[in-house]
Chains A and B, each alone.
Chain A
Amino acid sequence: NAGVTQTPKFRVLKTGQSMTLLCAQDMNHEYMYWYRQDPGMGLRLIHYSVGEGTTAKGEVPDGYNVSRLKKQNFLLGLESAAPSQTSVYFCASSAPLGFLGDEQFFGPGTRLTVL
C-alpha cells in the first residue's frame, strides 16, 4: 500500500516549457487535490476532483490544467511554465466526507524550479 505517490520528485524547467505532474493513489479515494506550497503562504489549492472525469478550480488555478481520466490518477499540467510557478507541489486524496471526516492524505511532493 503505497498511499499517494508523485512523479517526478524534482524538475527544472525553462520559461515557456511544458510539463505534467502525475499523482497516483491506491486507497480508492474519490477525491483528489493539487496544492502548491510557497514560503510563508501555507498550502493553496490549485484544482481538485471529486471523481473520475470531473475537475474543479481551486484558489489559484491560473496557468494550470488538470485531468482525472482514471480514479487513481490525477494529472497537473503546466502548458507554458513561468518563474512564478516555481514551488513545491503536493497532491492529496481523501474519501468523501463521512463519519470519519474527510482527512486528506498527502504525497511526498514535487519540487519545481522554473528558470
Chain B
Amino acid sequence: ELKVEQNPLFLSMQEGKNYTIYCNYSTTSDRLYWYRQDPGKSLESLFVLLSNGAVKQEGRLMASLDTKARLSTLHITAAVHDLSATYFCAVGSQGNLIFGKGTKLSVKP
C-alpha cells in the first residue's frame, strides 16, 4: 500500500527566506503532482513531475522528483506573503493519486 508523507506539516516562514517541503512515498511511482489550496478554496495544480530527475519551476517555486529515493521537494525562494497556503503532493498509484496530508505554509513579514 502506497503511503505519502509530507514534512513539515506546518511551516512558518519569514519573508525573503528560502524553505523546502519534502514529500516521501513508500513504493515505486514515476509520477508526482503538487497542488496548492487556499483557505476555503479548491485545489489548484502547480506541477506535474513524470520522470526521475524532473525539475519544474514557476516563479518562486521549484519542484523536483527523485524516483530512486522516492522523494520530491518543493523549494521556495525568497518567500512572500502570497505563497501562504496549504501545499499537497500526490503520488500516482494504480490509476489513482494518493495525497499527502498537506503542508500549511504561513509567511510572516
Contacts and interface: CB of A to CB of B under 8 A. Distances in A.
Interface of A: 31, 33, 40-43, 45, 48, 50, 58, 90, 92, 97, 99-109
Name the residue in A31, A100, A103 with the highest tally of chain B Cβ atoms < 10 Å from its Cβ: A103
Contacts, number: 51
A105 B42 CA distance: 10
A102 B45 CA distance: 12
Interface in B31-58: 31, 33, 35, 41-45, 48, 50
Contacts of A107: 42
A103 B43 contact: no
Contact of B50 (A50, A90, A101): A101
B97 interface: yes
B30 to A, nearest CB: 9
A102 B31 contact: yes
Contacts of A105: 45
A108 B100 CA distance: 20
B97 A104 contact: yes
